[in-house]
Amino acid sequence: MDKSKSKILTALGRLIKKRRMKLGISQEELGFRSNLDRTYISGLERGVRNPSLTALVSLAAGMDITVSELLDHLEVETNNIE
């Protein structure tokens, strides 16, 4: 995996975990809300899974934010990774 792709996936994982923790929910609960498997959520948070657009839409809904908010936060989080 190239460095920029890895950086984006790491940033997305951090963002998902931060939001999930802010909501006070487990990976299982986020999976339930997003209609995604808990192990998939875990892989996303660890930066080892590359989500599809439909998965991002489901995740955003499960975290009570819009896709555009998710992507805006992703840009900021990506810039915070060295």
How does pLDDT run across 2-55, given as a tens digit for each residue?
778 899 999 999 999 999 999 999 999 999 999 999 999 999 999 999 999 999
* pTM of this structure: 0.90
What is the predicted pLDDT for the residue at 80? 85
Alpha-carbon gap, residue 17 to 3, rounded angstroms: 21
What is the predicted pLDDT for the residue at 1? 59
Which structural domain range is residue 29 located in? 3-79
What is the predicted pLDDT for the residue at 65? 97
**Other CB atoms within 10 A of residue 39 CB:** 12
> How many structural domains are present in the chain?
1
Average pLDDT, integer, range 53-63: 97
Region of residue 35 (left: phi > 0; alpha: psi -120 to 50; beta: else): left
H or E element in which residue 15 lies: helix 3-23
Whether 51 contacts 13, CB under 8 Å: no
56: CATH: 1.10.260.40
